[in-house]
Structure 1
Amino acid sequence: MIKAVLFDFDGTLLNRDQSVMNFIDMQYDRLNKWVGHIPKKIYTTRFIELDSRGYVWKDKVYQQLVNELNITGVNWEYLLQDYINEFKNNCVPFPNLLIMLEELKRNNIVLGMITNGYGQFQMDNIKALGIEDYFEAILVSGWEGLKKPDIQIFKRALNQLNVVSNQSVFVGDHPENDVKASQNAGMKSIWKKDVQWDNVDADFIVDDLAEIPIIIKNLNKFN
């Protein structure tokens, strides 16, 4: 019997690619007096390349951006602080996020979240989507001192939700950090498809968040 569903955040609930595109487009306009000498397409494209889908923290990204594009009058620390302050205002959810969470809650499924990242920054983005109150436990690696794919962060989340691993499903987009790691923790896995990877060995695969409650209902129907 599935009692709990846990989620990754970036790339699973948050459409991070679109959020980043929105943010960097707005940052260029907001800070145009310092970066306006750079063609917008070059500034935005290079940021997205250096960001590496969130796996490079922005201190490194902005240091390189300032050096490569000859940005003067403003330092990388200022650009980083602008990112920290403003990214939450550009967060875009994947379709059917709230519908999916509401349906799971109506079916008495306990919800949790495990996300890698800096604590308050990630929490600000979660709050920006208006979803924090749906979750009984939210674990952010920067606050926990552990990060995925460490099995211990999954165990910690399950303990907080008061469920065991075989009563739980984890939903994420990353083959190692989400799918394989949650399986190693004894959970069933749902891979939220991402075009970056093929042939992920998950228990279930979804294109759309709206598919998740159907999977959970079917699992419970046959148990």
Structure 2
Amino acid sequence: MIRAVCLDIDDTLVDFATSARSAVAAMIGRDDMWPAWERVTEEHVARAIAGEIDYDTMRRARTKAFLADCGALLDDDLIVRMEDRRLAFLNQTWRTFDDAVPCLEWLRSAGFLIGAITNSTGAHQRDKLARLGIAEYFDTVVIAGEIGCGKPDPVIFATAAKQLDVPPEQIVHVGDRLDLDAVGARDAGMHGIWLDRAAGAEPGERAVHVITSLEALPKLLVSEFRTPPTVVPSQQRCR
């Protein structure tokens, strides 16, 4: 019996890519550099998760490195102003996917404990959930930058299970990355579900379920795992 459902945040519940890509385009006045931004972001976020640099240092160093790759060698003061404008734009354009809140509502009404597991770097991720009005749905939020490791490391999944006080085998984890989310959760003893919104690929992995929207998650939980759990009284939920 599944007792808890964990979800990734960015590009699973929140349309991160659309907002982030628009913010980068607004910063540099062109929209063809997103792959380069993703590459630089991966490198710098890994350093922040490892504790080598803090979040603010990371985002400014990332923007400086990205602009240097674009051929723009700018002074630090200008880099800071450009990055702050990008971040302000980003914070104004966050949106949840249309299927996110209905899914969270169903999970809560069905009595599942709900967790978030995210490869983000810190408190800004909690602020994002609060700004979008979905923080209240989560019984725990596990952030890579706060524990020093990220998905697919089994430690981050084990941390979520411990905080929820539920064995990993009674937890489903859903995310938009096959490798980090679905396979990572499976290898940590959970049930991995890949949210393939593009519906464009086969998972190539056994013991990993695939859905193309969060609308399909309730049906999968009921059909594959037979029935939702009994509703958990509010005083027993680990908020």
What does 1:67-86 align with in structure 2 at a 5 Å threshold? 68=70, 70=72, 75-86=78-89
Gaps of 5+ in 2: 45-58, 229-239
- What is the distance in 1 between the residues matched to 2:145 and 2:173? 20
Equivalent position SS for 1:118: coil
CA contact (8 A) 2:14 2:95 kept: yes
Is 2:26 the counterpart of 1:52? no
Identity of aligned residues (%): 25
| Structure 1 residue aligned with 2:93 | 90
Alpha-carbon shift at residue 136 of structure 1 (Å): 0.3
Measured at CA, do residues 164 and 89 of structure 1 come closer, stay the same or move farther in structure 2, by a change above 3 Å? same
RMSD, aligned α-carbons = 2.5
Instruction: Report if the CA contact (8 A) 2:23-2:87 is conserved.
Output: no
Shift of 1:56: 4.5
**Residue 214 of structure 2 aligns with which residue?**
209
1:164 corresponds to 2:150? no
Whether 1:177 aligns to 2:176 is no
Q: Is residue 130 of structure 2 the alignment partner of residue 132 of structure 1?
A: no
For the 8 Å contact 2:152–2:180, the answer to whether it is kept is yes
User: C-alpha displacement at 1:209, in angstroms?
Assistant: 0.8
SS of the residue corresponding to residue 32 of structure 2 reads: helix
Amino acid at match of 2:82: L
TM-score where L is the length of structure 1: 0.82
4+ runs deviating over 6 angstroms: none
Q: Judging changes above 3 Å, is the alpha-carbon distance between structure 1 residues 64 and 103 closer, same or farther for their aligned structure 2 residues?
A: closer
Provide structure 1 residue ranges, at least 5 long, that are not aligned to the other structure. 29-34
Distance 2:88 2:122 in 1: 14
The aligned amino acid for 1:65 is: L
**2:126 is matched with which residue?**
123
SS at 1:159 equivalent: helix
Q: How far apart in 2 are the matches of 1:197 and 1:155?
A: 30
Q: How does 1:34-53 map to 2 (within 5 A)?
A: 40-41=29-30, 44-46=31-33, 48-52=34-38
Opposite residue 164 of structure 1, the aligned amino acid is P
Report the counterpart of residue 5 of structure 2 in structure 1. 5
Aligned length: 209
1:50-85 per-residue CA deviation (whole Å, 9 max, x = no partner) reads 222752544334433256354768522322233344
- Distance in 1, Cα, partners of 2:141 & 2:71: 38
What code does the residue aligned with 2:107 have?
A: L
What is the distance in 2 between the residues matched to 1:118 and 1:8? 14
Aligned counterpart, 2:15:
15
What does 1:184-223 align with in structure 2 at a 5 Å threshold?
A: 184-195=187-198, 198-200=201-203, 201=205, 203-221=208-226
